[in-house]
A and B are shown apart, each in its own frame.
Chain A
Amino acid sequence: MHTISQGRLAFLLLFFAGLALYPLIAGEYGVDFVTKIMIYAILALSLELLVGNVGLVCFGQAAFFGIGAYGAVLLSPQDASASWLWLLPACVAAAALYALFVGALSLRTKGVYFIMVTLAFAQMAYYVVHDTPLGGGTDGIYLYFKPGLDSAIDLSKPHTLYYFTLVFLVWTFVFLAILLRSHFGRALAGIKINEQRMLASGFYTYPYKLAAFITSGGIAGLAGFLFAVKDGFVNPEMMSWHLSGALLIMIILGGLGYLEGALIGAFAFIFLQEFFKSDAIFGSFAKHWQLGLGLTIIACVALLPKGLIGLPDWIHKRLYGEKRIITEKMS
């Protein structure tokens, strides 16, 4: 985890370079589509920090996402465009604040109980927007004027939003990578491996976990802001447990314990959905797209214990036998 191998570095550079060049060849929809995946990737990264690196399985990430998104709509003026320079930090702060509240309480519990308490707090947020007129109720609420900064960075233009999102995706990735290699990150890794031992050696883990939780919530809020700006529409379903669940699926599918796992998982999950939904490939059977997706997921679990990030190893093993794994370990 702490040394980035050449292969991983090459993958990341290729990956981000590919994303940076993509709009040159993509159509209007392609740009939209990848913007969406990048937002999910940011969200998946925020969850990966907790699940993959601290061992805290949060089942309420959608709430922070939703708060960021609703913040963007509710804090924007009705009849003019807000500057993202203050709106974005405000949304992140709102999500982080709720994360502080949720984290402070739910970190008292452990394991599955933690999963369920985070779910409970997410459901509370969900019902507040679902059942009260505050956020437009069940039909959701529109963002009529997308935020901009004078005319230099106008987020209502798809390409601008694409690169804006990409910058934040890279920023999030680099930020988390640095964070995890810092003293703070090593403490988190220690908590993940054996919290009891940390506590026994006089290391008070609670503030570290809480800080990680708030960071994660804030990043999820950032993703929510971007999503609201992209769609210009928010709905209570953004906070539903289905999304929290899908995010967990993404990072497990990608491979836990690696930041790239979150990136791969988000892209793979959404690509697989699009693939199985495609009329062009499956014809009238495309309406049963969940079947293909489900079978693929089952096959992934059965064959790839480490998630998709273990795919190169797996292919190698099939082609050249077990040898490579050993040399890898030695090098």
Chain B
Amino acid sequence: MTTPPDKIAALELICPAGNPAALEAAVAAGADVVYAGFADATNARNFPGLNFTRDEMAAGIDHAHRHGCGVYIAVNTYPEAGNAGPWRRAVEDAATLGADAIILADIGLLQYAAETRPDLRRHLSVQASASNRAAIEFYQRAFGVKRVVLPRVLTLAEIAELNQSLPVETEVFAFGGMCVMAEGRCTLSAYATGQSPNCNGVCSPASHVRYERRGGDTVSRLGDFTLNIFSEGEAAGYPTLCKGRFVAGDSASYLFDEPSSLNVLEMLPELAAAGVRALKIEGRQRGRAYVSRVVSAFRQAVDGSAQSGALDDMTEGARNTAGAYQKSWH
């Protein structure tokens, strides 16, 4: 069975904007929607120098809308107990600034948004880890969520089965860094650094990364732990905790996952056939050149003029993976 081209062309391209320049690059390269966050701990890419002030967000939304592109605002960390203010303000400002949707993970914040800003479309972040029909239906029923970003633990077959009976749209990750653990349910980074995706919007933060020379080797460290040792000439990757090389049962290996990037460029017919509504490109920490290249390639692929292997040199360690979408990954 082949998937009709119009079904593939209907896939919405959701593209990362870590700053105004990346936003403009994504819009120019053919994004249907860009997603962005405010410059604080309310979003899951809370990196130094990244994200948007309120004024920048207003200008970014104006620019995107003038070019027929939507803007989603991620408020997808978990509000701190006793300090809900910044998260609630982020929801209110997203509504006031005219965002097309907000992307939320926390139940308390979803309820706040549904009650105080009912007209602002709500999407469920991947950080909520809604991996089954009962969970997804709960978020739809309780908070009127219109779309769910699926966790990267499901196979393509499982996604297709879910979509047959779901009352909401689904969005899946298409390209970029890939969590190997269920998203929003991982505290590995907090164990080594005290900083976590759920509470601080960061994983394996650069502030806790060190590279050391040892003889001819390069040692990458996160907090007090060695995450990898690269020999002379080997490219030293960033020490994201779950992409490290460890020893278990007497052998050293990439125990959790090889440093590689998710890339579904060649799988668009299958994803469209599985009933997926939107494709998310990861990478708000990336610069405009990267965003431009990746968004362009996906725009062409969705429009039916893909070039095979168009992004093979853009993936981490030049390695592609279809991740959990293929059963062999598990």
Do A and B share a complex?
no
| Chain B residues at the A interface, C-beta cutoff of 8 Å | none
Question: Residues on A close to B: CB < 8 A?
Answer: none
